[in-house]
Structures are given as structure tokens and as C-alpha cells.
Structure 1
Amino acid sequence: MTLSPPEKGPEKEQGVQLSLLEAGEAEGGNTNGLQNGSSTPYNPHQHRQHVHPTSNKETLIHLLKGSLGTGILAMPIAFHNAGLILGLIGTVFIGSLCTYCLHVLVRCQYKLCCQLRVPVLSYPMTLQVALEQGPPFLRWGAPFAKHLINFFLIVYQLGICCVYIVFVASNIKEVVDVYWVPEHDVRWYMLALLLPLILLNYVRNLKLLAPFSTVANLLTFVGLGLVLYFVFAEGLPGLEDRKLVGSIQGIPLFIGTTLFALEAVGVILALENNMKKPASFGGYTGVFNQAMFVIVSLYVAVGACGYLKYGSDVQGSITLNLPNDNVLAQVVKVMFSVAIFITYALQCYVPVDIIWNNYLRQKYEKSSNKLLIELGVRTILVLITFLLAVAVPRLELFISLFGALCLSALGLCFPALIELCVEWKNSPGPFLLLKDLVIFIFSLVALIIGTSISLSEIVHSFQ
């Protein structure tokens, strides 16, 4: 899944870092979303200015592209952990819950934009402003909200980069083992990738990567079609040797993997904010629901059919199960490797952007070594992901770990917390309180148990 850089909307020029109260006072004490001296409600959608706004169709394509990556290739191992029946039900449930929570996030951001009379709010600012007007016992956390969201975004994006390194190295190793020198440790392939990844991450202008990104998207879609061809070739075996319900220990790994695969929290606000008709994003038949219906359906199909095909032999990426004696199968592995390698720089752009623009730029803005320092940051981030990948070259463990740790928080926990805070002054009824509390507890449990079991499996892999 591909995450867009954090949106840099007009809020930085319009002082949204004021608290809600300060913003209201700056506008004459009006915090009801009404223009001064007017009974007309403020509509953020009408005040967004974009040079190249996206159409509904383009937004739908971006959502699909952002969710069809390494995550979908790991769905068969997720079904192996949960079992076939539980995997089917669980994927639909988690997909529906993620969809609902992201609708909540977009809706709450809209309400806060109306109150502050600003066109757009980033995810960190949405949480901060929500906490400022939430229950008194939560308001102490408002100043830390931005850093908390940034932490999870950075960790998640670096986690994706770790997954990418393991994925590319593992698939290239499979091809080289067949046609050239067999049985080299996968870590040697990671080492061979290190310098190219560092140089790729030195590209500071994303426009230069745009043509390569288009090629990567094409390779991904074609490769996914060929994977499905191999899955259905010669038919699927029966259910005799397939688990219908997995072990208790496997369920948190399933949840983490599915969250990693399904969640598109990093692109949701950015895509909705950049739409020509943002009102078309939500709703029962809106762009987001259309995209999520396709995505969840594909994940269920790939997960269930991949597990039926390969059973307990399924690996962290279904590409690793493709036959080694088939040339087309090796071409598929190379295609995905090239696509994921290209996409690494786009994923690493997000933590670079957050760290540099939020924590380092002001300090080194006037330094004569500004460029060298930025390149140093880019190099360090690549080295971190490389060392983590070398330490634990297990694709499925990285996916479940970062899915459980980061996306339980970003995709489920924080949206529920934001809604509770936004509705607090309106005296939310018992249903809303209970609903948000249940989502909050579920996401917290998934985070704690999923992360602990993933870490336990990682420690076990060293033994």
C-alpha cells in the first residue's frame, strides 16, 4: 500500500495551530462555523484551492493503487494463521471496521474545519484540535497529539520500507537461485540493494519519480493478474488439509497482517482534500466505499484462494510460492521486485518529510550544510530499514508487527477518540459513547496483543 506525503494545506498559513478557543476569538468568538455577520455556514470544500484537483475516477484509482501492494500478496499467510472460515469473516469485518473508522475521521475533520473556518486540517492537527475541545481529562494530551501521530506515521512508513527490502531481496534470491548461483543467504541480496536504495532516496523531487511510479503501478497490476493465473491454474484442491479456524496465537498475526494490507489511512485525508468534488468521497455509494468494496473483495479472493492452493506451505508473499521451474513465474517475481524497489523512495519520502519539515528544517534552514544534513537524514533512514531487515528477514513478521502496532492506532483507535472529543460538547448519547469505547478497546487490544505476539515470534526466530 502506498502512502502519500502528509498534506501541507493552507492551515499553516491560516494559523490552525491556535487552539479552538483562540481561533474562535480571532474570528470574533464565533466557533459555530458561521462567517462573521452571516448566517451562512462555512463550507471547507468551497475554500480549497488546488492547481490540479483530482476527479472522482482519479481518486478511485489512487485508492486502489494505494492498497494493492505487498499487503495483498501476504493475505494467504494471513488466512493460514486464522483459518479459512475465520479468515473470510475476519477480513470482511476488519475491512468494514476500517472503512467506517476512516469515514469517521473524514467527517470529524470536516466538522473541525467548519468550526475553525479553515479549508483543510492534517491528521495530526485534527487530533490536536479534537483533544482541545474533548473531555477535560484528555485535554492535557493536545500538545503531544501532533508528535504522537507523527511517531506512528514514521514508524509505519519505515516498517513498509523494511517489508520492501525483505520482499525485493527474497524474490530476487528465488530467481538467482534458479538461473545463476544458488543458496546464497538472503542478507547478501539486501546488502546489494543498500547503495541503490540510498541513491534512490537522494531524489528530493517526487516529480522525477512520477514516470517510474507509473511503470511500477503497471507492473503491480499485471503481476497480480499473473499471480491469480498461477493460483487458479490446474484448479484448487479441496478443504481436506485446510484449517477452517486457526490457532488462538495465529489470530493476532492475522489481524496485524490484514490491517497492514487494508489500511490506507495515510492517503485518506490527502486524497479527500485534493478532490475536485470532495462531497463525493463519502456516502454509501461514494468513492471511498466503492474502492473499499473492490479492495476487500480482492483481499478475500487472494487470501482464500492462495491458502486453498498452497495450504501450510504458503509463504510471507504468495510470489515465493510460484513454481521455480516456470519462466513466467520468475518473470512475475522480477516484475514485483522492480515495482517495489521503485516505490521504496515514495514510501521513505513520508518519514523524511515529517522529520525534516517538523523537527529539523527550522534549526538548519540557514546552515551552509543544509543539503548535506538532509542527505544525511535520508541515508540514516535507509540504513535503519536495512539493519532491521537484515536482523529479521521474515516478511510475514514485519507485516503483522507494523500492522498491529501502527494501523491499530492510526486507523481505528485515533478516529474513535477524535469522534468522541468532537461530539463531547454536544453531549453524545450512550450509543456513541459505547460504540467509540468498543472500537477504542478493540484497537488497543489488537495493538498490544498483536505487537507482543509479533515481537515474540521475531525473538523466537533467533533461537
Structure 2
Amino acid sequence: MSNSYSMKQFSSTAVITENGAFPSTTSISTINTKCKENDLEKNDYEPFQNRKLEHPNSDARSFANLLKSSLGSGILAMPAAFRNAGTVAGIFGTILLGYICTHCVFLLVKTSQEVAKVSKVPSLGYAETAEAVFATGPRQLRKFSRSIRIFIDWALTFTYLGACAVYVILIVDSVQQIVDYFAVDNGLSKAMYCAMSLVPILIFTQIKNLKFLAPFSAIANILLVLTFLICLHYICKDFPGLDSQPMLVKIEQWPLFIATVIFAMEGIGVVLPVENAMAKPEHFLGCPGVLNITMSVVILLYMIMGFLGYLRYGSDAKGSITLNLPTEEYAALAAKVFIIFAIFFTFMLQFYVPMEIVWRNTKNRVAQKHHNLAQTIMRAGFATLTVAAAATLPRLEQVIGLEGAFFYSFLGLIAPSLMHIIFNWERDLGKFKWILIKDSALILFGSFVLVTGVMQSIVEIIRTS
């Protein structure tokens, strides 16, 4: 989650940067020139053989990195997702959505690998892949290649910042729950808690070197594992019967279920950096392949946690199951404290990624002598906007649904399918144009999730405001 106040967010920064895959060093002009020279035809250039990696990752480490990016604290939101589907519908829905998300990741990686051959570059990031696809697609689309790269860059930026707002809400809700228990009637509103959280956020988001942030990732991992184990203890304690919750809920709630699962499961911003850093990138796709093995584990764990957590807490399941734990018990209190620090560390690392994207796109407009000041103002401004957004949004699970529907449905479902169609438009759309039909169906599904999920989330936010 994380999306997804998911571990995917903070692990992605470390994975991307330490392997040199983010930000991309492939220039726009280089891609466009090489694409035009090749004029839509593949050649004997093999990207895998031309990758020069100082520290390439093994299949096992790539599996671990991808697992971290898709599995984390997002799993704690799955009971709330099942609340909008039901027990049986939640199980089958999680499996189906997991397959769809996995296939869309496959499309993105496969397209990136194929267009890298045409572009004669070793590897490409998400935005660079989109640019190269348009540059090698139908001629009338080539003029939009640079614009689409900038668009995807900013879409990724706001996706990460949206996840940061989710983190702030979880931190504030957890702190408020603890403080309100020990100091009843303290008179502090959610807005006040958000204002207080802004102080440490403004301080720590000024750290510009990933080297100083990386150790926090390890701490966050440990805290998340401990939190997960404590939550499992309380879920299995006084466990109700399997028929204690409905198998199926009203259909109008399904869009929130879909959006939450996609938000929790999607690690679309991380998959290409992981694949780009592999010693044997040909092992990423295929059967079984790193991608399929990883996502099978993720789907299974998300399904189990959602099912058991929903049976235990039912309609009271909150956006993070830690909020359902009894504050008066020491173990539960420890879990709430752990999640506060884990998510705060996650926020710091998550925030690094959009700031790198924004700075990469704006630094040429600032005089060299003002770079430090400009970065300080930029980071403070975006951090303040993120906290302000969190202060205006009421409930965690609704914001998760809104983030999943609006951002992850586009970047995780629509964009990979659209790029796959464009890349193959003048090459091979398959027998009876089955690639066009299948990818169009995915685009329609993603659009359905985007529209209905956003509408349902807004309705719920207005209703509970």
C-alpha cells in the first residue's frame, strides 16, 4: 500500500537509488534520436548485455526487494478492504485483482524491455519507457513523447505525495488515539495534531542525502514485522465463527474494495528499478519468474490477513488494523507506538522520491548558487501541503480508497495497457488483434475503477465530514 502506506514506498527509494536506476540518466534527445534512426524496427542490440551494473542483484535479492515493495503495512488495511466486499467476495476479489495487477506489471516491464531494444539503451525507468513508446509508436504520436514523459513524472510525484498524506493521517490517528486514552478531554483536534506533526516532518524532510535515510528503512522493517505479529495475536484471540460476517455486501461498496486492494498491492513505481538492477533480468518475467513468485506470495498473505481481520473486527475494521487494538493493553499499545515510528520513517524515505523527480525537472531553471535554498523551500512547501491535505481529510480508509482509485488505477492499470497497445500498434497486435482487445478491456476496467472509486470515496468523505 502502498501503496499504500505500504513498505513498497520506503523500500523503493533505497532500491532505486542504490542501484543507480533512479533518476534515469537516459536523456530525452538520446532516446528520440535512436528511435528515429531505427524507425520502428528492432535490431540486434540486446539491452541486458549492455547493462553495466556495479552491484547487480541476484534473483533472490530481487525477489526480496520486490516483496518489500509490495508487502508491508498495507497488509494492515486489508480487513477494511474486505469490509467493502464480504468474506467470500473478498477472497475471490483479491485473487482476481492480484492477477490483473501482476499482468499489468508484466505489460510495463515487457514493453520497457522491448522498447529498450529499439531505442538502443540498456534500461529505462517508467517515465522514460512512456517517452520511448510514444517516440517509436505511430508517427502522429511521436511529437508527444517528451510531454508524456513529463506527465508520467508528475503523476508519479503526486502518487507518492498522496501516499505521504496517507502516512500523516495514520500517524496522527495513532498518536491521537494514544493521547486521548491517557489524557481524556484534552481538547486537541485532529488539525492540531497535524500541526504538531508538521514540526518533525519539516525537519527530517530536509535531509537530502539518501545515505542518511537508508538506516531508517531497516528500523521500519523491524517495527513493521513486530506490529504485524502483534496484530495476528489479537486477530486470533477470541476468534469468531466463519459465518460471523456476510459473504457478500452491497455492490455499491465494491469500488472502495477494489481501490483499496490496488492501493495496497501495487508497487508500479518500483518494478522497473528492481528489474533494471538484476544480474539476470531475463528471470524477472516468465514462469515461474521473480514477478510471478513474488506476487503469488503477496496475494496469499493479503487474502489471509483481510479474511481473518474482517472476521475478527467486521464492520468496525479501520484503515489500519492497529487502530482496532485495545490501547489499554501493553502489547497493543506497543504496536501503536511501533506503527507511528515505522510510518514516520517510511514518510521520510517516501518523500525523497517525489522531491528527486520535482528537482530533476526544475533545477535547470534555478541559478546554481541558489540550488540549496531552492531545494529547502521546495521540500518545506511540499511537506506543508501534504500535512495540510491530511488535515482536511477525515478517515484513513476513505483516503486510501481515493488514492488507490485516482492514482494507482492510472499508473498501475491504464498506463501500462495503453503503452503496450501503442508499442505494438504498427508491429504485432496478435491473431484477431487479441492484444488490442485484451489491453482495451484492462483500460476500461482501470477507467471504471478510477471513476467509480473516486466518486464513492468522495461520497463517503462528504458523508462523514
Q: What's the TM-score once normalised by structure 1's chain length?
A: 0.92
Between the aligned partners of 2:226 and 2:453, the Cα distance in structure 1 is 32
Between the aligned partners of 1:356 and 1:232, the Cα distance in structure 2 is 47
Give the corresponding residue for 1:457.
460
1:276-298, Cα deviation, whole Å (9 max, x unpaired): 22122111211121111111111
1:299-378 maps to which residues of 2 (within 5 A)? 299-358=302-361, 360-366=362-368, 368-378=369-379
The one-letter code sitting in structure 2 at the alignment partner of 1:387 is A
1:96-115 maps to which residues of 2 (within 5 A)? 96-115=99-118
2:242 counterpart of 1:231: no
The alpha carbon displacement at 1:152 in A equals 1.8
Give the corresponding residue for 2:277.
274
Q: For the structure 1 residues 356 and 144, does the alpha-carbon distance in structure 2 shift closer, same or farther, using more than 3 Å as the test?
A: same
Q: For the structure 1 residues 179 and 17, does the alpha-carbon distance in structure 2 shift closer, same or farther, using more than 3 Å as the test?
A: same
The one-letter code sitting in structure 2 at the alignment partner of 1:363 is R
Contact 1:17 1:125 in 2 (8 A): no
Q: For the structure 1 residues 25 and 159, does the alpha-carbon distance in structure 2 shift closer, same or farther, using more than 3 Å as the test?
A: closer
The alpha carbon displacement at 1:53 in A equals 2.0
The alpha carbon displacement at 1:66 in A equals 1.8
Contact 1:33 1:117 in 2 (8 A): no
Contact 2:40 2:137 in 1 (8 A): no
Give the corresponding residue for 1:198.
202
Q: For the structure 1 residues 140 and 239, does the alpha-carbon distance in structure 2 shift closer, same or farther, using more than 3 Å as the test?
A: farther
Contact 1:236 1:305 in 2 (8 A): no
Unaligned 5+ segments in structure 1 are 35-40
Q: For the structure 1 residues 238 and 116, does the alpha-carbon distance in structure 2 shift closer, same or farther, using more than 3 Å as the test?
A: closer
The alpha carbon displacement at 1:327 in A equals 0.8
1:53-109, Cα deviation, whole Å (9 max, x unpaired): 222222222222222334211111110011112111111111111101101111110
Between the aligned partners of 2:194 and 2:30, the Cα distance in structure 1 is 46
Contact 1:32 1:114 in 2 (8 A): no
Between the aligned partners of 1:132 and 1:54, the Cα distance in structure 2 is 30
Between the aligned partners of 2:390 and 2:289, the Cα distance in structure 1 is 39
Superposed CA RMSD: 2.1
Between the aligned partners of 2:219 and 2:226, the Cα distance in structure 1 is 11
Between 298-307 and 143-152, report the one with greater CA deviation.
143-152
The one-letter code sitting in structure 1 at the alignment partner of 2:29 is Q
Q: For the structure 1 residues 102 and 219, does the alpha-carbon distance in structure 2 shift closer, same or farther, using more than 3 Å as the test?
A: same
Between the aligned partners of 2:344 and 2:57, the Cα distance in structure 1 is 26
Contact 1:133 1:422 in 2 (8 A): yes
Between the aligned partners of 1:431 and 1:33, the Cα distance in structure 2 is 22
1:239-270, Cα deviation, whole Å (9 max, x unpaired): 24x22212222111111111100000010001
The one-letter code sitting in structure 1 at the alignment partner of 2:87 is L
Contact 2:405 2:450 in 1 (8 A): yes
Give the corresponding residue for 2:190.
186
1:365-392, Cα deviation, whole Å (9 max, x unpaired): 42x2221111111001111111111111
The one-letter code sitting in structure 2 at the alignment partner of 1:298 is L
2:454 counterpart of 1:447: no
The alpha carbon displacement at 1:226 in A equals 1.5
Q: Secondary structure at the match of 1:426?
A: coil
**Aligned partner of 2:222 among 208, 218, 223:** 218
Q: For the structure 1 residues 58 and 11, does the alpha-carbon distance in structure 2 shift closer, same or farther, using more than 3 Å as the test?
A: closer
Give the corresponding residue for 2:29.
17
The one-letter code sitting in structure 2 at the alignment partner of 1:406 is F
The number of residues matched between the two structures is 450
Give the corresponding residue for 1:253.
256
Q: For the structure 1 residues 234 and 345, does the alpha-carbon distance in structure 2 shift closer, same or farther, using more than 3 Å as the test?
A: same
Unaligned 5+ segments in structure 2 are 1-5
Contact 1:16 1:116 in 2 (8 A): no
The alpha carbon displacement at 1:135 in A equals 4.2
Contact 1:217 1:339 in 2 (8 A): yes
Q: For the structure 1 residues 143 and 111, does the alpha-carbon distance in structure 2 shift closer, same or farther, using more than 3 Å as the test?
A: same
Q: For the structure 1 residues 25 and 323, does the alpha-carbon distance in structure 2 shift closer, same or farther, using more than 3 Å as the test?
A: closer
Between 7-16 and 93-102, report the one with greater CA deviation.
7-16
The one-letter code sitting in structure 2 at the alignment partner of 1:161 is C
Identity %: 34
Between the aligned partners of 1:62 and 1:111, the Cα distance in structure 2 is 23
Between 138-147 and 448-457, report the one with greater CA deviation.
138-147
Q: Secondary structure at the match of 1:357?
A: helix
Give the corresponding residue for 1:408.
409
Between the aligned partners of 1:310 and 1:409, the Cα distance in structure 2 is 31
The alpha carbon displacement at 1:275 in A equals 1.4
1:170-185 maps to which residues of 2 (within 5 A)? 170-181=173-184, 184-185=188-189
Between the aligned partners of 1:47 and 1:362, the Cα distance in structure 2 is 30
Q: For the structure 1 residues 52 and 306, does the alpha-carbon distance in structure 2 shift closer, same or farther, using more than 3 Å as the test?
A: same
Give the corresponding residue for 2:3.
none
The one-letter code sitting in structure 2 at the alignment partner of 1:17 is S
Q: For the structure 1 residues 122 and 173, does the alpha-carbon distance in structure 2 shift closer, same or farther, using more than 3 Å as the test?
A: same
1:8-64, Cα deviation, whole Å (9 max, x unpaired): 6599665453565x31555xx576443xxxxxx222112112222222222222222
Between the aligned partners of 2:21 and 2:298, the Cα distance in structure 1 is 28
The one-letter code sitting in structure 1 at the alignment partner of 2:198 is L
1:117-176, Cα deviation, whole Å (9 max, x unpaired): 100112112112212333456555433211221222112111111111110111122222
The alpha carbon displacement at 1:461 in A equals 2.7
Q: For the structure 1 residues 13 and 339, does the alpha-carbon distance in structure 2 shift closer, same or farther, using more than 3 Å as the test?
A: closer
